[in-house]
Amino acid sequence: MVKHNFYAGPSILPDYTLEKTVEAVKDFAGTGISLMSISHRSKEFTAVMEEAQQLFKKLLNIPDGYSVLFLGGGASTQFAMVPFNILNKKAAYLNTGAWASKAIKEAKFFGEVDIVASSEDKNFNYIPKDYKIPEDADYFHITTNNTIYGTEIKEDIDSPVPLVADMSSDILSRPVDVSKYAIIYGGAQKNLGPAGVTFVIIKNDILGNVNRAIPTMLNYQTHIDKKSMFNTPPVLPVFAALQTLKWIDGHGGVEEMQKYNKQKAEILYDEIERNSMFKPTVPNAGDRSYMNICFVMNDGYEDKEKAFLDFATEKGMVGIKGHRSVGGFRASTYNALPMESVDALIDTMQEFEKNNK
């Protein structure tokens, strides 16, 4: 049976990435040595790191004056690294979900945190609007896509202070005006690579303005100076990320990713709206994520949730169970998910409706 991978992360990667990584695990760059056994200081791997950084810059049209870093520790470490490096007195945060809340918690260790707006009052099922960013803040932090609740900020906002974004789950899914941001970071395990590597896009001149001493490994400048090679980087995930970057580049870049992702998401949302058995968790269509489509059983059919999950599993749908804080279902439609998987899920939903209505 064909499996359709809707996991929210770690999640589906292009076959190209998997195949090239498997080859390299057996014999990396013709060295006769496995990628898992090669020195990160070898000329072969150094070339991988440099190419990944340059291709990242190309795909997102990253301006001069920015560095691309590949680090360990996940986005969760970035929750602390950001304020450690750039929070002097006060930071502003937009609270749109669980991960934004975790970032806020970490920032409070370093200074005052102004939560300019929050959607917690409705279980994070919308993106706050009409908030004011304090102009005396050291930076303003947003989480662009919320995997648990299925909301997304799809445009680059204008901020009067340096803008910081956690783009863990929608990086490379659309064009980004990087010049509007001071820092963009995220875990790779959605649209970029396997778990184990974290990307950071950072404007170099944002650094050097805090009054505290920063431990060596938590100092962005350390990693900028050594081009992500200060310590042993996550070698295999960086190699896999490079393969994904090549795959995106070969498929028309982020512009084509955006078109394809929008198409996948919209036809699935249309079916959720049409199907009498289901309803979306995010009421405002403009706030709905193109990466994580969240839905629940419609009113009167709540007792059918387990039955649909079992039915969908029988049909080859994998990873569609919703997060425990929301319930229902979540179909993650990242770059590498083919349209065939979305069509298969829609067919499953329609068959379930026919059998249970």
Residues with a catalytic annotation lie at 99, 166, 190
- Residue 83 C-alpha from the chain's centroid: 20
In whole angstroms, give the CA distance from residue 22 to residue 172.
23
- Residue 285's identity, in one-letter code, is A
Cβ neighbour number for residue 19 with a 10 Å cutoff: 11
**Alpha helix (H) residue ranges in 189-287:** 220-225, 235-250, 253-274
Query: What region does 185 belong to: left with phi over 0, alpha with psi -120 to 50, or beta?
Result: beta
3-state secondary structure (DSSP) of residue 132? coil
Q: Residue 224, Cβ neighbours under 10 Å: how many?
A: 18
Q: Give the DSSP H/E element, type plus range, for residue 116.
A: strand 112-118
Do 149 and 128 touch, CB atoms closer than 8 A?
no
Single out the residue of 224, 175, 170, 173 nearest to residue 200, CA to CA: 224
